[in-house]
Amino acid sequence: MDLGLNGRVALVAAASRGLGKAVATALAEEGARVAIFSRQQEAIEAAAAEVRSRTGAEVLPLAADVNRHDDLERVVRATIDRFGRLDILVNNAGGPPPGTFDSLSEEQWQQAVNLTLMSAVRLTRLALPHVRTQGGGRIINLTSSSTREPIPNLLLSNAIRTAVAGWAKTLATELAPENILVNCVAPGRIDTERLKELDQANAQRQGRTAAEVRRANEAAIPLGRYGRPDEFAAAVAFLASDRASYITGITLYVDGGKLASIV
């Protein structure tokens, strides 16, 4: 199936590893030109080299911090200077730290809001004028299955990623007349470095090994395993494509059937 992404330009945040890198790879495989960024220059250069090697696509790596407004301005400007357009924005950020209500400080709450919610708001505000000049486009936000079913010991993510989903739903309605589609894609247990870190943290908290935690988690997933990053990225690529031209305002859960709710 041709997704119609050949020649489109995508900007993917937090793309040096994990889901961000997988999404950049999937878009590049479909013919998109991709700008990617993360905080560490060496790491983002390595990710860009990997994406180029796998796809042959044109990739622009940039070192930038999603918490810094001036960095985000520079990233958007560099993308336009290099490619002349912007069609697809993928908002992504490393997850806030685990913790319960009593263990989290007000400073940690403020940091998590800035990282998870305001980075998406700021980057979208900067990118939107350029997407508008194309007569339409896509804004895709990577969130979490915790927006439907809160995850123990992830209070910050549960609260703030849900705020991202509410913002995105409202924005989808506002931008629909301009053919700018806004959606969220929510991973369940996708086998990334971040998930390994969370499993290890839960193992220490529960007095078990990380392998025991993983086996218990996999047993609760109908498909019986953690997902692969490329499986998640394929869902993002579809929503970024012409094939998804009548889909906006949704959260697509990529979780192997883990969520039990109907709506």
198 sits in the region (left: phi over 0; alpha: psi -120 to 50; else beta) called: alpha
pLDDT value at residue 140:
98
Nearest alpha-carbon partner for 153 in 97, 196, 192: 97
pLDDT of amino acid 50:
98
pLDDT for 205? 85
Question: pLDDT at position 64, please?
Answer: 98
What pLDDT, on the 0 to 100 scale, is given for residue 250?
98
Q: What is the pLDDT of residue 261?
A: 81
* 62 neighbors 41 (Cβ within 8 angstroms): no
Q: DSSP readout, 80-126?
A: HHHHS---EEEE--PPPPPB-GGG--HHHHHHHIIIIIIHHHHHHHH
Q: For 195-200, what is the mean pLDDT?
A: 88
State the greatest distance between any 2 C-alpha atoms of the chain, in Å, as a whole number.
54
Q: How confident is the model at residue 194 (pLDDT cuts 50, 70, 90)?
A: confident
Per-residue pLDDT at 201: 84
Identify the burial level of 215 via C-beta atoms within 10 angstroms of its C-beta, where 0-12 means exposed, 13-18 middle and 19 or more buried.
Answer: exposed
The second-level CATH assignment, the architecture, of 9-190+228-253 is 3-Layer(aba) Sandwich (3.40)
Q: Is the pLDDT of residue 63 over 80?
A: yes
What is the percent of the chain with per-residue pLDDT over 70, rounded to a whole number?
A: 100
pLDDT for residue 87 is more than 80: yes
Give, as one character, the DSSP assignment of residue 147. Answer: G
Cα–Cα dist 57/28, whole Å: 6
Using the predicted structure, report yes or no on whether residue 262 has a pLDDT greater than 90: no
Per-residue pLDDT of 101-158, as tens digits, reads: 999 999 999 999 999 999 999 999 999 999 999 999 999 999 999 999 999 889 999 9
Stated pTM of the model: 0.95
The pLDDT of residue 95 is above 90 = no
**Domain coordinates in residue numbering, the chain:** 9-190+228-253, 193-226
Encoding tokens for residue 47?
A: 């990710």
pLDDT of residue 197: 87
* Average pLDDT value for residue range 23-32: 98
Give CA separation, 32 vs 57, 111, 133, 244, 255, in Å.
7, 33, 18, 16, 26
pLDDT higher than threshold 80 for residue 263:
no
